[in-house]
Structure 1
Amino acid sequence: MLGLPDHIRACLFDLDGVLTQTAKVHAAAWKETFDAFLRRRADRDGTAFVPFDAGEDYDDYVDGRPREDGVRTFLASRGVELPEGTPEDGPDSETVHGVGNRKNELVLRLIREQGVEPYEGSVAYLRAARDAGLRRAVVSSSANCHDVLVAAGIEDLLEERVDGITRREQGLRGKPAPDTYLAGARLLGVEPAEAAVFEDALAGVEAGHAGHFGVVVGVDRVGQSAELRRHGADLVVTDLAQLLEEQR
């Protein structure tokens, strides 16, 4: 059914890069945030400034992870460790939460300025899944998930939502741990083996693989098909419309 194994009863979709064209917005916000931080640090320490790579660094250390985990993971790759701080830290604070809050300010500004566009193939797939009687949830690391769904006009196509707010409230580990996807399956009343995970992030396909889901679909928007498979994708498509075309 819809390019999935016959026993699949539910679909769990990542948001940015799978349903909506916001991954590039997040990458731009991370680059602006990290470049400003790294430049200040280089000037202060008298060391060379090495900018954040919105391709490799984003994919390897940030994409799909909760915001604070992205800060920790990328800065650790540069040998930098910051104090945790608190969620109330200002965007200029040199803490994990402060850097994350600066990124969130920037991404919200970019979304307001640029709007949010869903992928047409993903919208078609969501409608086909609904019409076929498959349960549907979005599973995102973003605390802004609800606003993005509304802005993209696809909120009504999803039955449940697990996002960054859910993760904090329930104490769930973020991707690449499987916790948020497992929570999505519980909300839809299915076992992991009965659910398909749709992910474009390496951390996300790792999460789907670790949760022993029925199938993990890697969505390759940036030419990383081999990496998606290596991290746990069972099959890879460049757009969800490909899965519909297979049914014709």
Structure 2
Amino acid sequence: MDNTKCIAALFDFDGVVMDTETQYSLFWNKIGKQYFPQIEEFGRIIKGQTLVNIYAKYFAGMEKEQQDITARLNQFEKDMAYEYIPGVVDFMKDLRAHGVKMAIVTSSNDLKMANVYKAHPELKELVDRILTAEMFTRSKPAPDCFLLGAEVFGTVPQNCVVFEDSFHGLEAGNAAGMAVVGLCTTNPKEAIADKCKLVIPDFTAFSFEKMKALLA
């Protein structure tokens, strides 16, 4: 750890701050069955990627289909339930009390996050920055989004802790050279244990001191 730089906590959003991943899996698995019936669990395959990347990889040249999916997704996100992962608000307040910089680093776009702010206007006050899909070109598993998180706080990767739940997100955190904490909210503990320093079910038993120990 570089003691001349601040410590930063970088949180993925879905499945880390809000318990939304199960809802998204239902939506994208339905899309998968419609367009790619040969692919099992399409929702799991695309987790952590921006909509732009999903379209580029799976729906290239399919403009009408992209428009249809976007319209369905926008409506779906308006109707979604946004509930905090247990303990995350208290954990963020603990980090704030210890001077830790915090950012939500998400593949979600500004339109989706506007729905979140309507449901939880306090979210913007809990963290210092919210970095969305519009702010980086390559989505997870590329490390760009987390490296941007370090950059906006003027710190270095070795001072950053990433909180992630998806395979792409965990890979991105590791590629960024940061300490990675995996939440087994989306994937089983056994499936992600070798991809992070620590696995937790939620934030109820987690603290600033436990996070700081990962940077020693």
- Mapping of residues 170-181 of structure 1, within 5 Å: 172-181=137-146
C-alpha distance after superposition, 1:166-212 (max 9, x if no partner): 12xxxx31100101100011111110110100001110010111111
1:36 aligns with 2:34: yes
- How big is the shift at 1:72? 5.7
1:217 to 139, 160, 181: 181
Task: Please give the TM-score of this superposition, normalised by the length of structure 1.
Answer: 0.73
Other structure's SS at 1:111 match = helix
Q: Pick the aligned partner of 1:152 from 93, 117, 120.
A: 120
Give the 3 Å change call, closer, same or farther, for CA 142–114 of structure 1 in structure 2.
closer
- Distance in 2 separating the partners of 1:192 and 1:162: 16
Does 1:186 find its partner at 2:144? no
User: CA 1:176/1:133 → structure 2, altered by over 3 Å: closer, same or farther?
Assistant: same
- The RMSD of aligned alpha carbons is 2.6
| Structure 2 partner of 1:41 | none
* CA apart distance, 1:25: 2.2
Return the alpha-carbon distance in structure 2 between the equivalents of residues 174 and 205 of structure 1: 12
5+ residue gaps, structure 2? 211-216
Quote the residue 1:196 is aligned against: 161
**Partners of 1:189 and 1:106 in 2: CA distance:** 39
Aligned to 1:17: 15
SS at match of 1:161: strand
CA deviation string 1:68-112 (max 9, x = no partner): 433566x5xxxxxx5345xxx4xxx24xxx1xx544433332332
Q: Is the 8 A contact 1:220 1:236 kept in 2?
A: yes
Structure number, greater radius of gyration:
1
Distance 1:175 1:72 in 2: 14
Say how many residue pairs are matched.
205
The structural deviation recorded for 1:155 is 1.9
Match of 2:214 in 1: none
Between 1:64-73 and 1:7-16, the stretch displaced more is 64-73
Match of 1:58 in 2: 43
Instruction: Please give the alpha-carbon distance, in whole angstroms, between the structure 2 residues aligned to 1:35 and 1:119.
Output: 29
Q: Distance in 2 between matches of 1:245 and 1:166?
A: 28
Answer with 109-118 or 201-210: which moved more: 109-118
Greater RCO (CA < 8 Å, at least 6 residues apart): 2
Quote the residue 1:227 is aligned against.
Answer: 191
Going from structure 1 to structure 2, the CA distance change for 1:149 and 1:185 (only over 3 Å counts) comes to farther
TM-score (norm 2): 0.82
Gaps of at least 5 residues in structure 1 are 39-48, 76-81
Post-superposition offset of 1:145: 5.2
SS of aligned partner of 1:120: coil
Q: C-alpha deviations, 1:19-70, integer Å up to 9, x for none? A: 01121222122122222224xxxxxxxxxx54742xxx433x1111122433
Change (3 A) 1:180 1:161: same
Corresponding residue number in structure 2 for 1:111: 77
Q: Within the alignment, does 1:238 sit opposite 2:201 as a pair? A: yes
Equivalent residue letter for 1:201? S
- Matches of 1:242 and 1:105, distance apart in 2: 39
In 2: Cα distance, 1:159 partner to 1:189 partner: 13
Name the % identity: 24
